[in-house]
Each structure stands twice: as structure tokens, then as C-alpha cells.
Structure 1
Amino acid sequence: MTTYSAALTEILDREAVPASGIDSGDVDYRADGVDYRGYLARPAGEGRYPGVLVVHDWLGVTDYVRMRCDMLARVGYAAFAADVYGADVRPSPDEAAGVAGGFYQDRPLWRKRLTEAYEYMLAQPSVDAQHTAAIGYGFGGSAVLELARTGAAVDAVVSFHGGLLTGPAGEVERITAKLLVLHGAADPVTPDDALLAFEDDLRTAPSVDWQVVSYANAMHAFTLPDADAPEHGAQFQAVAERRSWAAMKTFLAEVFG
């Protein structure tokens, strides 16, 4: 069992541990010649549970994303943290923008790695492959929207303070997932014009089920307790963190029925 900082533990403990407990731990996997180290958390014991792919922020698989997987397992999901970067790539805060930026510049590679992680999750014995979701934070929020754009058969996608990218004309018609975008209304990383362009792109595909929730005065990284750089537009906001988690829970419960 992972031991977390006090700030992460406070968030985690909002969800009660089920009577049976949870099982969790690092998971090594390999795809197309690349080694990865993710993390899997699920309710303990036998059974299959809706699978939730969790995609990390620009720092890679850290305690933050592990905590979110544990939190999802407490709710009743099998949560798998994808490792987009590779097992040997864990950037420092100073390096993270460069590493993440490489994927923004190579969206085919980004999507390929996300698809590989999603397929790995589907193969896990504890995952009900007929009921799946993908959520992500920051870089990961952008990533899960990229996964949706591939046409992956994921039921629900939730972006927390992610970058909102558009794509070639008509690409959004591939999306079959229901989308929930949880956005900081004061996020300079994804300003109003980027949000409008994203929404206008989705409007070209009337079949896509999507919603955007904007949180007042919330900057980029509003769910991360360690985020405290308002001069760079990133800061934790407890109210938005709590509300966004509740919105995700309600959304997934609705989608999974």
C-alpha cells in the first residue's frame, strides 16, 4: 500500500475504504518495444469492475496519479494509470514542459501510446471491458481527449484542467465517448479563445455528447495540492478540486448506469 503525503491523504480519505479493502501496486508492461511502469488499483477480491484509464500530468506517473487510482478503487472501479512517457522517463518540474511538449508535437505517437495503455487495461482480469472510461489531469486531460478522437470504444472521457486541442475538419465525428471537460475559468494555459475553438469543433458533430463545466477563479492545475505558482497561472483550489471530483463521479455513475 502506497503511503501518501498529508495533502494527498486528505483528498484520498474523502472516499471510504470498502469493507473488503483494495488491491493496488505498480504494473510493468511493454508495448512495441518500449517498457512502461503504470499502476493498477481495484477493489480486493474476485470480480470485474468498470475500468478507468487514468492519465498523468506532465510529471508522469507520480503519487498524485496513484492516489487518484486508489480513490477510484474505493468508489468501485478498476483504475489503471497509463505511463505515456516510458518507465525510464520521470521528468523533473524543469524538464516536464519539454517532455510533454514532444507529445503535443507528435500526436500520432501520443495517441498510439494511449491506445496501447487502454488495450492493456482492457486485458486485465479485474476489468469489465464493456464498461470503460478515461480520465486525465493537465497533460493527461489533453491526452484522454486525444484518445477519444481516435474513435476508441471508451464510454466516458473526463478532462481535468487539460489543454483543449482541435483537429482536422471532421475528426470529431470519430468520437463515440461521452465527454466531460472540467475547466478552470481563470486558466491562462487554456484561455477563452481555446475553449471556444474546442467547443466550436465539437459543435460540428451533433452526435457527440459533451459538456463543459468551468469553475470560477480556478487556474490551471486546480486539483493538484502542490500547485502554487499563480504567477504562471497554476494554483490549487480546494473548492474546484472537490466539485470536479463530485462531477466526475456523477457522470461516470450515469454513463455506466
Structure 2
Amino acid sequence: MTTVTTRTVTYQADALTMVGHLALPAGSDRRPAVLVGPEGVGLSDVERRRAEALAELGYVALAFDLHGGRYLSNPEEMLARCMPLLADPDRMRGIGHAALDVLRAEPRADLDRVAAIGYGTGGAIALELGRDGVNLRAIGTVNGLTTGRPGEAARIRCPVWAGVGSEDPIMPPAQRHAFTAELQAAGVDWRLAVYGGALHAFHHPPVDHTALPGVGYHPRHAQRAWRDIVGLLAECLPVAE
């Protein structure tokens, strides 16, 4: 197993002091870099481990924060923060750009080879970076199949992969269709994977946020979705280029 170095990074975004998790692969050379955005509950060990798994594959990875170092296990508190955030593309972009600045400041990050992946709210932020015209090599979003402001999807300059559970009540078929129609009309290279029988946050191991209706862990599809994301990065952001 490759030796991975990790450190906590603090930075300002959305009027909060964010606490991210940076994972670096072995060596001292520049490597492609990946932003990892968490579900609406906030940054947890799930996303930290995914950043470390990406570092083991050779990427510089930053799991970014949404709530100023807090994990919002109370569903009402989480929704009260995330629903206004998801309705405000500029706020989402501000959080994404602040994390991107931290990633770009890392000397080992190859600034010309950056991707953004995320889950739920974190995936929506990855998409908004694309809609803001950020030079990304790939965008991956699980559960966060959000649509943007009219015409702005045309600024996305990279392939987009999206994954969703077939039984996700938060991202139902009508939302999936609106999302893919937006990307198709904009001429984006897009893919959608629908995981049969899976609910919202199916990729996330059971934790307290499963008290939310329509949320549930599906271990087999969680592994498949991760393999799909790794495949997206291998295609669009190979470690050796």
C-alpha cells in the first residue's frame, strides 16, 4: 500500500472557518488533484477515507467542509442550512472556490489537472464549479443531480458522471430528467448511472443521518459507485500523463 500523508487544513468560506482533510500520495512530484465534497450532513470520516483512498491511487485529494467543522446529525438543522445553500448557486460556488484555492495552493497539486467529485450537496457544489467555467478535467456527483441557472451548463468543459439510486425520493425521475436534459442541451459529455433499488445516500455507511426518510445504505451499489468514480478519474485524469 502506498504511504499517504494527511493533514487538516483550515480556510474561510461562507463566513465560516472550514476544516478540510488533505491527503497526499507518496513522493514529491506533482500529481493530479481531486476535490471531494460531502453529503449535506457535512464532512465525516467517510469522505476523509475517500480522499485517502484517492491519495493511495496517486492523487492529491482534498475532502472539503460545508459547515465550519460541524457535522449536522440533526436532520432539521441540516435541512435548515442546506436548503437555502442549494438554492443559492453563488454561495455554493463560493464554498467550492475556497476549497479549490486550498487545493491549488498545495505544491504537489498539478493545477492543470483537477477534478471535482461530491455527494449530495458536495456534488451540487462540484457541478456549480463546472457551471462557473472552472477548468476541470472531470465532475462526478452522487445524489446531487441539481440543475443550474439557465444557460450556465454550457460553461462545463469536461465530462460529467452522475450516480443516483432508482428509489431515491429526493432525486426522483423528474429531477433526473431535468438534470440530464440541461446537460444534453448544453452539449456536455454526460453519463448517468441509476443503481437499482438504492435510496438517497446509498453510498454512505449507516450513521445517524439514516433517520431521514428515503435515506439508506446499499453496500453493493456503494462499491459499484466508487468503482465508477475511480473509472471516471482514470479516464479523464490519469495519474501518469
Note the alpha carbon deviations across 1:36-81, whole angstroms, 9 max, x for none. Answer: 2111001133121110001111122211111111111111111101
What RMSD in Å do the two structures reach over aligned CA positions?
1.9
In the TM superposition, residue 24 of structure 1 has moved relative to its aligned partner by 0.6
One-letter amino acid of the structure 1 residue matched with residue 101 of structure 2: E
Which residue of 175, 179, 195 maps to 2:176?
195
The structure 1 residue matched to 2:166, chosen from 185, 201, 208, is: 185
Q: Which amino acid aligns with 1:136?
A: G
State which of 153, 163, 167 in structure 1 corresponds to 2:148.
167
Corresponding position of 2:157: 176
Tell me the TM-score normalised to structure 2 length. Answer: 0.91
Question: Could you say which residue in structure 2 is the equivalent of 1:7?
Answer: none
Q: Quick one: distance in 2 between partners of 1:192 and 1:85?
A: 29
Stretch moving more, 97-106 or 175-184: 97-106
Alignment partner of 1:56 is 2:38: yes
How high is the TM-score relative to the length of structure 1? 0.86
Asked whether the equivalents of residues 163 and 225 of structure 2 are also in contact (C-alpha less than 8 Å), the reply is: yes
Is 2:21 the counterpart of 1:39?
yes
Query: Which amino acid in structure 2 is aligned with residue 37 of structure 1?
Result: V
TM-aligned CA distance change 1:231 to 1:120, over 3 Å:
closer
How far apart are the structure 2 equivalents of 1:99 and 1:190? Answer: 19
Partner of residue 189, structure 2:
209
Superposed CA deviations along residues 130-175 of structure 1, whole A, max 9, x for unmatched, are 111111112212221122111111110100122x222332111111
Identify the match of residue 79 of structure 2 among 88, 97, 122: 97
Matched, 1:255 2:236: yes
Change (3 A) 1:140 1:199: same
Residues 107-152 of structure 1, C-alpha deviations (whole Å, 9 max, x = no match): 2111112112112211211111111111111221222112211111
If asked which structure has higher relative contact order (CA below 8 Å, sep 6+), I would say 2
Mapped to 2, the partners of 1:195 and 1:147 lie a distance apart of: 19
- Which residue identity does 1:98 align to in structure 2? A
Residue 215 of structure 2 corresponds to residue 234 of structure 1: yes
Report the alpha carbon displacement of residue 249 of structure 1 after superposing the two structures with TM: 1.2
Q: Which runs of 5+ in 1 are unaligned?
A: 1-16
Q: Which one-letter code corresponds to 1:151 in the other structure?
A: G
Pick the aligned partner of 1:245 from 201, 217, 226. 226
**2:111 matches 1:129:** yes
Aligned residues of 1:184 and 1:217 also touching (Cα < 8 A): yes
Partner of 1:108: 90
Change in 2 beyond 3 A, CA 1:34/1:233: closer
**Structure 1 residue 83 displacement after superposition:** 1.7
Secondary structure at 1:250's aligned position in 2?
Answer: helix
Question: Per-residue deviation at 1:239?
Answer: 1.3
Percent of aligned pairs sharing the same letter: 34
Instruction: Describe the SS at the equivalent of 1:234.
Output: coil
Contact 2:42 2:65 (C-alpha < 8 Å) held by counterparts = yes
The CA distance in 2 between the partners of 1:243 and 1:214, in whole Å, is 11
Give the distance between the partners of 2:140 and 2:11, measured in 1 at CA: 24
Query: Gaps spanning 5+ residues in structure 2: where?
Result: none
CA contact (8 A) 1:53 1:121 kept: yes
Residue 85 of structure 1 and its aligned partner are, at CA, apart by: 2.6
| Residue of 195, 212, 218 corresponding to 2:198 | 218
Residues in 2 aligned to 1:256 and 1:107: alpha-carbon distance in whole angstroms: 26
Number of aligned residue pairs: give it.
Answer: 236
